[in-house]
Structure 1
Amino acid sequence: MTLEKFSDIYYRAATRKGSNSALEQRLSYPKPTEDLLKIPDDRWLAMFSQKIFQSGMNWQVVRNKWPGFEEVFWGFDIEKMCLIPPEMWEKKATNPAIIRHLGKVMTIPHNAQMIQHASRDRGSFSQFIADWPSADIIGLWAYLKKQGNRLGGNTGPYSLRLMGKDTFILSGDVEAYLRAHNIIDGGRDTSKSLQAAQDAFNFWHAESGRPFCQISQIIAFSVGDNSN
Structure 2
Amino acid sequence: MIFEDFEKIFHRAAERKGGKRELEMILSIPRTDTELRAIPDHRWLSAFTKKVFQSGMNWQVVRNKWPGFEEVFWAFDIEKMCLIPPEMWEEKARNPDIIRHLGKVMTIADNAQMIKRAEREFGSFSNMVADWPSDDIIGLWRYLKTKGKRLGGNTGPYTLRLLGKDTFILSSDVESYLRAYKIIDGGKDTQKSLKAAQQAFTYWQQQCGRPLCQISQVIAFSSGDNRV
Question: Could you tell me the TM-score, scaled by structure 2's length?
Answer: 0.99
What is the letter of the counterpart of residue 3 of structure 1? F
Q: Residue 153 of structure 1: SS of its match in structure 2?
A: coil
Partner of 2:20: 20
Q: Does 1:158 pair with 2:158?
A: yes
Partner of 1:118: 118
Q: Partners of 1:207 and 1:10 in 2: how far apart?
A: 12
User: Runs ≥4 in structure 1, deviation > 6 angstroms?
Assistant: none
Q: Partners of 1:113 and 1:134 in 2: how far apart?
A: 25
* Aligned residue runs from structure 1 range 29-178, under 5 A: 29-178=29-178
Q: Percent identity?
A: 70
Aligned residues: 228
Q: Partners of 2:75 and 2:60 in 1: how far apart?
A: 20
Q: Partners of 1:93 and 1:142 in 2: how far apart?
A: 28
Q: Partners of 1:24 and 1:50 in 2: how far apart?
A: 29
1:124-150 Cα offsets, whole Å, 9 max, x none, are 110011111011000000000000000
Q: Partners of 1:129 and 1:207 in 2: how far apart?
A: 24
Question: Could you tell me the TM-score, scaled by structure 1's length?
Answer: 0.99
Cα pair 2:52 2:104 within 8 Å, conserved: yes
Q: Residue 106 of structure 1: SS of its match in structure 2?
A: helix
Q: Partners of 1:70 and 1:2 in 2: how far apart?
A: 48
Cα pair 2:41 2:78 within 8 Å, conserved: yes
Q: Partners of 2:134 and 2:113 in 1: how far apart?
A: 24
What is the letter of the counterpart of residue 161 of structure 1? R
Partner of 2:10: 10
Deviation at 1:58, TM superposition (A): 1.1
- Unaligned stretches of 5+ residues in structure 1: none
- Unaligned stretches of 5+ residues in structure 2: none
